[in-house]
Chains A and B, each alone.
Chain A
């Protein structure tokens, strides 16, 4: 083997490793359920299929490579793709792919936190990318509903509020919602913003929505990012809007607030996002 054939062999090998590692990585995300933290469930099967095709590609490539080094000395002319105009220098693209795949195999994706929520801006309206409600059936199971008398999940509350924004309509209604804690500094000590991310495509467009909760005691008992299940009664309060900040002072407005009767800390759900 002369040098350029040798180099060719190594570049091919690098590609094979890259494709195989990506197959592995996608499969790992699928089998461990970590896909829940990354993309919308509609596309789970696409990821699995991609992982399988990558694996098949790896096998096909190994067979090809083996065949040609065994039988065909013309191999160099045949598979030398490296003269193509590459944007990245030789071997870089596959090295980057390998590097990222290894990182992905080692590092677990994390649940988006209140920090991300603040970065994206908390509001009480739905984002433009969010789909309109497809059906008005609630996602809460009937068993759960009958226990507390509460019908809507947090997301359904936000959707309903977007459709009929008048807070007084809901006064006195029972509610039982789960979400993670966001502290908003411009609100009184005993208020938290119970939030969830809505996903339309993937974590990149995850958008925080939420409802204000009035706690019986100071919010310092409930650290940021802890997950809570809050039961209570809806009421109307006049408070600064959730999206006002120090730079952008806004007038107080009447808002729907959940007056908490019972607050339970719960573990982070396996599927923390809403769709």
Chain B
């Protein structure tokens, strides 16, 4: 009984600490509806693939979205004809390289600021590397889902009808404006509203409604996952014998691998994942904590599910493999040299 009660206390402590940061993240990403003119921003981007990869990866500062928000944005980038390198590096860096995530990581690891730095450096390097790799493929269409590729073809050829749908339909910075499993049918959600308008021509009142709905949606979905993740973290801390965790967490390689698997499974939002990982801070190596913080926002069950709406499975496999290898090599060499 005592065990359960202390697990519950740890669980609520994680939630109470994480909730404000989740809320700030959600409010900011939703408020982009008011502030950001995506179309304007896109025209100012460099077309050079390498520069694009760098710009794309620091875009997170202007799009403070976590893993659930970045996929729709990356998808719109692609549909608007941006180079693959920009979209891909944005996809991988944005959940980490943004002010809220850095703040929450700092709060959680005030005593170990190197974790914050390593997280930034490794995430940026990996995102830019992956961006550069895919800049070799100047035409993104073979990587995309057939439906999306077709739309892009249509866009490029300037077919007017198609174009209307493409651009108008996705002009909202809303994390949910696409669907996973809908067979061949694009979303109807905001179509009736946006058929002849763009996000910017909406009245303030309509924007407010979209804002509230987006906050509600993201809070609900991310909050639900946060709760499941916290429950896992608290139970591991209380119910798994210390000896087992220590054995796993003190090995250089086992700890990194364990943390990367944990990151992929738990799917916790990047604004609050540092609180989650804090519960392992005293038993796991620093390198493995960094591996969790770098790999988790890039690849996990949730984000793979979302990415399936953009890329072919083969492409996701490549992305996962590259990200995993790079994370492993970087963190391993960190633990080797320090």
- Could you tell me which residues of chain B, from 165 to 197, have a CB within 8 Å of some CB in chain A? 175-182, 187-193
Query: Is there an interface contact between B243 and A247, defined as CB atoms closer than 8 Å?
Result: yes
Chain B residues within an 8 Å CB radius of A128: 111-112, 281-282, 286
Query: Is there an interface contact between A110 and B9, defined as CB atoms closer than 8 Å?
Result: yes
Asked whether A149 is an interface residue with its Cβ less than 8 Å from the other chain, the reply is: no
Query: Is there an interface contact between A107 and B8, defined as CB atoms closer than 8 Å?
Result: yes
Please report the total number of A residues contacting B with Cβ < 8 Å.
Answer: 66
Q: Select the stretch in A76-84, A150-158, A162-170, A234-242 that faces chain B.
A: A76-84
Query: Is there an interface contact between B10 and A85, defined as CB atoms closer than 8 Å?
Result: no
Q: Least Cβ distance of B6 to chain A in Å?
A: 6
Select one of B223, B234, B278 contacting A97, CB under 8 A. B223
Q: Least Cβ distance of B259 to chain A in Å?
A: 16
Q: Select the stretch in B16-24, B55-63, B133-141, B314-322 that faces chain A.
A: B16-24
Query: Is there an interface contact between B109 and A129, defined as CB atoms closer than 8 Å?
Result: yes
Interface residues on B, range: 35 or more
By beta carbon, the residue of chain B nearest A99 is B227
Asked whether B110 is an interface residue with its Cβ less than 8 Å from the other chain, the reply is: yes
CA distance A241 to B8 in the complex (A): 32
CA distance A129 to B282 in the complex (A): 8
Q: Least Cβ distance of B298 to chain A in Å?
A: 17
By beta carbon, the residue of chain A nearest B19 is A50
Query: Is there an interface contact between A77 and B243, defined as CB atoms closer than 8 Å?
Result: no
Query: Is there an interface contact between A203 and B224, defined as CB atoms closer than 8 Å?
Result: no
CA distance A262 to B228 in the complex (A): 47
Contact A19:B306 (CB < 8 A) given known A131-B111, A202-B16: no
Query: Is there an interface contact between B179 and A84, defined as CB atoms closer than 8 Å?
Result: yes
Select one of A78, A83, A120 contacting B179, CB under 8 A. A83
Chain B residues within an 8 Å CB radius of A47: 16, 19-20
Contact A116:B6 (CB < 8 A) given known A81-B217, A85-B309: yes
Asked whether A29 is an interface residue with its Cβ less than 8 Å from the other chain, the reply is: yes
- Chain B at the A interface: SS class: helix
Q: Least Cβ distance of B107 to chain A in Å?
A: 6
Q: Select the stretch in B116-124, B144-152, B208-216, B328-336 that faces chain A.
A: B208-216
Chain B residues within an 8 Å CB radius of A39: 13, 16-17
Chain A residues within an 8 Å CB radius of B14: 202, 204
Q: Least Cβ distance of B108 to chain A in Å?
A: 5
Query: Is there an interface contact between A87 and B225, defined as CB atoms closer than 8 Å?
Result: yes
By beta carbon, the residue of chain A nearest B16 is A38
CA distance A38 to B234 in the complex (A): 13
Asked whether A112 is an interface residue with its Cβ less than 8 Å from the other chain, the reply is: yes
Report which residue of A18, A78, A131, A202 has the largest number of chain B beta carbons within 10 angstroms of its beta carbon.
A202
Select one of A110, A115, A127, A200 contacting B110, CB under 8 A. A200
Per-residue contact bits, chain A 246-261, to B (CB 8 Å; 1 contact, 0 not) = 0100000000000000
CA distance A203 to B13 in the complex (A): 6
Asked whether B219 is an interface residue with its Cβ less than 8 Å from the other chain, the reply is: yes
CA distance A121 to B8 in the complex (A): 20
Per-residue contact bits, chain A 81-116, to B (CB 8 Å; 1 contact, 0 not) = 101111110001110110010011001011011011
CA distance A119 to B192 in the complex (A): 57
Contact A26:B111 (CB < 8 A) given known A87-B305, A110-B5: no
Asked whether B279 is an interface residue with its Cβ less than 8 Å from the other chain, the reply is: yes
Asked whether A15 is an interface residue with its Cβ less than 8 Å from the other chain, the reply is: yes
Select one of B15, B176, B193, B275 contacting A78, CB under 8 A. B193
Contact A38:B9 (CB < 8 A) given known A57-B212, A64-B209, A78-B193: yes
By beta carbon, the residue of chain B nearest A201 is B108
Q: Least Cβ distance of A65 to chain B in Å?
A: 10
Chain B residues within an 8 Å CB radius of A49: 20
Query: Is there an interface contact between B20 and A96, defined as CB atoms closer than 8 Å?
Result: no
Asked whether A66 is an interface residue with its Cβ less than 8 Å from the other chain, the reply is: no
Asked whether B161 is an interface residue with its Cβ less than 8 Å from the other chain, the reply is: no
14 A-B residue contacts at CB 8 Å? A35-B16, A38-B16, A61-B212, A81-B217, A96-B227, A96-B228, A97-B224, A97-B227, A107-B5, A109-B9, A113-B2, A202-B13, A204-B275, A207-B282
Given A93-B224, A247-B243; 15 other pairs, CB 8 A cutoff: A12-B216, A37-B9, A38-B13, A49-B20, A53-B27, A61-B216, A84-B217, A94-B224, A97-B223, A97-B227, A104-B15, A116-B6, A121-B282, A204-B237, A207-B282
